[in-house]
């Protein structure tokens, strides 16, 4: 029985590496930490086959984080899971408008999802570097639509919303239109824990990068 | 394109019901709302095959919630995802000690996981009705060990921690020892979103039950 956190993590990643090899799943070296973190957070090695990375996703994400990134989270679970200490050390900040009064009022008035209204509020009032969308397919759709209509594209879109209505379609659209570097998970699977795993893996890489430069 | 939240939810559950029928997956009527909610939250119908329900899990969970349940959450993501408005209407409360200073100090001193120390704190100082463990396998192990050693069993254990080190083993132990009614997800898969889906589905059932009695 392994009960020490560092031993658990080490053994866990050893097993994940073995599973990736066993399944014959190959990824570019640079994205491997993110792939492993997503497998770690879902307990599901099969999820790796649906992960897609824009070629500039890692470099742009890390660059943005090192400059102190504004991260939009579609739901509170994503916001609460982010490594806030690490992000603060990089000078970054989290935004989540899903429970915002203005957003709630607009959603009620228009009949649209709160997720759509939250993205619209984020784009209207804030400069968002990274969109982390883990739950609501309509948040991703609203973002794609806004950029198409002239909103400035963010530095990185982590688009891994979940579900059977729209999620697979809007994620396919993200990959096809590629309005900004993206990380996505094709198909119906997704979720807040996956978005968090990706953001936190990037924060870890950005911190390591800073530390290595400081040495 | 479906953009109204109530339409999205309705269509989503229609699709999930179709998938369950197509896969030939049958569940007792009473647990179906929970099964569907877990599929909804993961976008993965295959997850249903690993779900296990103690025969008294639903009735005990709903009874506890209607009396105003204390719910322990192993991590902040679980705590933040719970339907707090619904739970408050039932008089319930959420506890999460993962960032508690005492817990952090103890974890540092002992070298054990914060999750273990958080469960120990919960059992020492509070009467917990429902344990919702979505992330940390060692939290489930600590709970099983404590009950074995004489701690009063809770009304319901939602034990769906995730990962490759301990998760499958401790969940198998939960089902085998059955120290209290439980809901679990066998194997390595699991996660905070699944724990939240199960808790929120139970809260919804408890509220519906109250409303139907009030009519």
| pLDDT score at B183 | 98
- Mean pLDDT, chain B, rounded, equals 96
Q: How confident is the model at residue A214 (pLDDT cuts 50, 70, 90)?
A: confident
| Token pair belonging to B1 | 């394109």
Pick the CATH number of A48-214 from 3.40.50.10230, 3.40.630.20, 3.40.630.30, 3.90.1300.10: 3.40.50.10230
* Signed CA dihedral, B7, B10, B16, B22: sign only: negative
Question: What is d(CA A39, CA A48) in angstroms, rounded to the nearest whole number?
Answer: 7
- ipTM higher than the 0.85 cut: yes
What is the rounded distance in angstroms from the CA atom of residue B33 to the CA atom of residue A157? 33
Determine the average pLDDT of the residues in B185-191. 98
Percent of chain B whose pLDDT exceeds 90: 95
Residues of B in contact with A81 (CB under 8 A): 76-77, 192
Please judge whether A113 and B3 are an interchain contact, meaning their C-beta atoms are less than 8 angstroms apart: yes
Show the tokens assigned to A68.
């102190």
The model's confidence at residue B125, banded by pLDDT at 50, 70 and 90, is confident
Closest residue in chain A to residue B117, using alpha carbons only:
A3
Per-residue model confidence as pLDDT tens digits over A162-203: 999 999 999 999 999 999 999 999 999 999 999 999 999 999
Contact A12 B164 (CB under 8 A): yes
pLDDT at residue A1, rounded to an integer: 83
Burial label, A190 (beta-carbon count in 10 A; 0-12, 13-18, 19+): buried
Spatial contact of A5 and A13, defined as CB atoms under 8 Å apart: no
For domain B46-214, give the CATH superfamily. Cobalamin biosynthesis CobH/CbiC, precorrin-8X methylmutase (3.40.50.10230)
Q: What is the pLDDT of residues A128-162, one digit of tens each?
A: 999 999 999 999 999 999 999 999 999 999 999 99
Place of tokens 């607009």: A106
| Residue ranges with strand state E in chain B | 51-53, 70-73, 93-95, 130-133, 156-159, 182-185
Q: pLDDT at position B215, please?
A: 66
CA angle B184, B22, A20 (to 5 degrees): 55
CA distance A192 to A161: 8
Q: Which tens digits make up the pLDDT trace of B93-111?
A: 999 999 999 999 999 999 9
B164 touches chain A (CB under 8 A): yes
Tell me the average pLDDT across A76-94: 98
CA distance linking residue B211 with residue B215, whole number of Å:
6
Chain A positions in Cβ-Cβ contact with residue B163 (cut-off 8 Å): 8, 12, 40, 43
pLDDT, average across residues A106-124 = 96
Cα of A180 to nearest chain B Cα, Å: 23
More confident residue, B173 or B212: B173
Partners of residue B11 in chain A, C-beta under 8 Å: 164-165
Beta carbons of A112 and B1 less than 8 Å apart: no
Q: Which pLDDT score is estimated for A215?
A: 66
Q: How far apart are CA A151 and CA B145, in angstroms?
A: 55
- On chain A, the residues whose CB falls within 8 A of the CB of B12 are 163-165
A10 touches chain B (CB under 8 A): no
Extents of the domains making up chain B:
46-214
**Per-residue pLDDT tens over the stretch B3-62:** 899 999 999 999 999 999 999 999 999 999 999 999 999 999 999 999 999 999 999 999
């Amino acid at each position: 029985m392994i009960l020490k956190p560092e031993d658990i993590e080490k053994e866990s990643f050893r097993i994940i590496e073995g599973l990736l090899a066993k399944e014959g799943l190959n990824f570019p070296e640079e994205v491997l930490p993110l792939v492993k973190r997503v497998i770690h957070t879902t307990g599901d090695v099969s999820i790796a086959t649906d992960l897609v990375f824009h070629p500039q996703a890692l470099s742009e994400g890390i660059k943005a984080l090192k400059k102190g990134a504004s991260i939009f989270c579609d739901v509170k679970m994503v916001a609460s899971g982010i490594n806030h200490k690490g992000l603060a050390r990089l000078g970054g900040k989290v935004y989540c408008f899903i429970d915002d009064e203005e957003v709630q009022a607009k959603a009620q008035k228009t009949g649209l999802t709160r997720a759509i209204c939250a993205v619209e509020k984020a784009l209207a009032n804030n400069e968002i570097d990274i969109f982390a969308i883990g739950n609501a397919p309509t948040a991703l759709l609203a973002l794609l639509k806004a950029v198409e209509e002239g909103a400035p594209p963010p530095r990185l879109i982590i688009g891994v919303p979940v579900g059977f209505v729209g999620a697979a379609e809007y994620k396919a659209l993200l990959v096809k239109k590629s309005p900004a570097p993206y990380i996505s998970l094709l198909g119906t699977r997704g979720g807040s824990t996956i978005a968090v795993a990706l953001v936190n893996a990037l924060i870890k890489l950005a911190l390591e990068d800073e530390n290595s430069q400081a040495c």
